[in-house]
Homo-oligomer: A and B are copies of this chain.
Amino acid sequence: MPAVNKAPPRGFPDMEFEARLERAQRFMSAKGVDAILLTTAANIAYFSGFQTQFWQSPTRPWFLILPGSGKPCAVIPEIGAACMARGWVEDIRTWSSPHPTDDGVSLLASTIEECTRTSGRIGLPMGAETYLRMPLTDLDRLKSKLPNFALIDATDIVRDLRIVKSQLEIEKIAHVCTMVSDAFADAPMLFAAGQTDIEAFRAFKMECLRRGVDDVSYLVGGAGQGGYGDIISPPSGRPLRLGDVLILDTGCVYDGYFCDFDRNFAIGHASEQSRCAYDTVYRATEAGLAVARPGNTCADMFNAMQKVLEAGGALGNAVGRLGHGLGSELTEPPSHAPFDKTVLQPGMVITLEPGMEFAPGRHMVHEENIVIREGAPEILTRRAAPELPVIG
């Protein structure tokens, strides 16, 4: 398995975290933010290197504070101390969690006071695509312990930092895209009529693991005669039939970074209408690639792809956008949508995901992962076949 041998090293050198923090502190200074409080897996990992699947346990809250100067400070349950200590953060304060009356709130409040000293503006991601991963009642307790502090929205600061990837981040995403592209190339050996979609999904998961991904964190899709009904459902147990179009859409992970792309296959034979729909979304992706240049906006990306979809007879698209950012989360800002005027910059990793309902209840969706470069983008996935592949 040569792909495994070419795997980029795990983790990041200290320099990477230093650069992230320096940019954050520059943004914070410009916006008058004294400290930023982070509570979610992706944001905490970004500034600390802390990586664990233990986030799947909702029991305990975890906190990272970015002060205006100096390194981040972790306020975390004792169970995570050894894992956090392997990362970049040195100041790690723990409490025995779960705790029935004070699950880290007092320790967090006193640490925030210590990190900020005099003042009072604590940034917290509170806007679009964010959530607070701690109990709401504990947020109220925290506020009452910090009466001289104001919580202000830090969504933009964190978004603007994470939206442009470093070369080391890009290499991890590229690596997982390559392994999954290889797995999709094996589709003729993995999928066949008569097999249930559950079996097909399982075969694909094992193939991705065999090729070196850490986890097949996300695998959804569907199959139906001439097209599928939706693309976020788990497999149903329905057997694949001749004439089905099968889609698998996957977010596999390598060292904390996702790919997110799909592939379509016709089982046995493909109808003219399915071929046409495939051709339309393929050409829409080409149109997106043509405008994926620094200086253009996500709205430009949407418009270029949407024009092709409409000309191809799209009845609609329930996804609400035609692609998005990608990194340590399956989906990240920006959105290729009419409302998103984000200007593309070199280093942004995005998906192109043109999709449409081409007949009532039948959809066709394409997806590729690219990185914006000076000039033409770099395609991280192996480009889908220009015609609907027939297998089985």
Contact = CB atoms under 8 A, between A and B. Distances in A.
Interface of A: 10, 40, 51-54, 56-60, 77-83, 86, 94, 96-100, 103, 124, 126-137, 153, 155, 198, 202, 205-206, 209-210, 212, 214-220, 229-230, 232-234, 236-237, 251, 318-321, 324, 329-331, 335, 337, 339-340
Contacts of A220: 52-54
A132 B129 contact: no
A205 B219 CA distance: 15
B135 A128 contact: yes
Q: Which 4 A-B pairs have the closest CB atoms?
A: A82-B230, A126-B136, A57-B331, A100-B339
* Secondary structure class of chain A's binding surface, majority of residues: loop
Contact of A59 (B127, B129, B206): B129
A82 B320 contact: no
A217 B57 CA distance: 11
A224 B236 CA distance: 42
Given A59-B324, A77-B320, 18 more contacts: A53-B234, A56-B251, A59-B129, A79-B230, A81-B230, A82-B318, A83-B230, A86-B233, A94-B318, A98-B128, A100-B128, A100-B337, A126-B136, A129-B135, A131-B131, A202-B209, A206-B206, A215-B216
A58 B130 contact: yes
A219 to B, nearest CB: 7
Contacts of A131: 58, 131-136
Contact of A329 (B56, B126, B205, B218): B56
B83 A233 contact: yes
A320 to B, nearest CB: 5
B103 A128 contact: yes
> Which of A60, A103, A320 is most buried by chain B, counting CB atoms within 10 A of its CB?
A320
16 contacts: A40-B58, A52-B220, A53-B217, A56-B251, A56-B329, A58-B329, A79-B230, A82-B230, A98-B320, A126-B136, A126-B137, A129-B135, A130-B136, A131-B131, A135-B155, A215-B216
Contacts of A127: 135, 137
B56 A330 contact: yes
A59 B216 contact: no
A358 to B, nearest CB: 15
A355 to B, nearest CB: 10
Contact of A318 (B79, B133, B155): B79
A201 to B, nearest CB: 8
A26 to B, nearest CB: 24
Contact of A10 (B83, B217, B237): B237
B52 A232 contact: yes
A132 B320 CA distance: 23
A242 B329 CA distance: 37
A233 B124 contact: no
A44 to B, nearest CB: 14
Contact of A234 (B52, B124, B130, B216): B52
Given A83-B233, A210-B206, A58 B124 contact: no
A229 B52 CA distance: 14
Contact of A80 (B51, B232, B329): B232
Contacts of A339: 99-100
A53 B100 contact: no
A168 to B, nearest CB: 17
B10 A320 contact: no
B53 A219 contact: yes
Given A234-B51, A331-B59, A78 B318 contact: yes
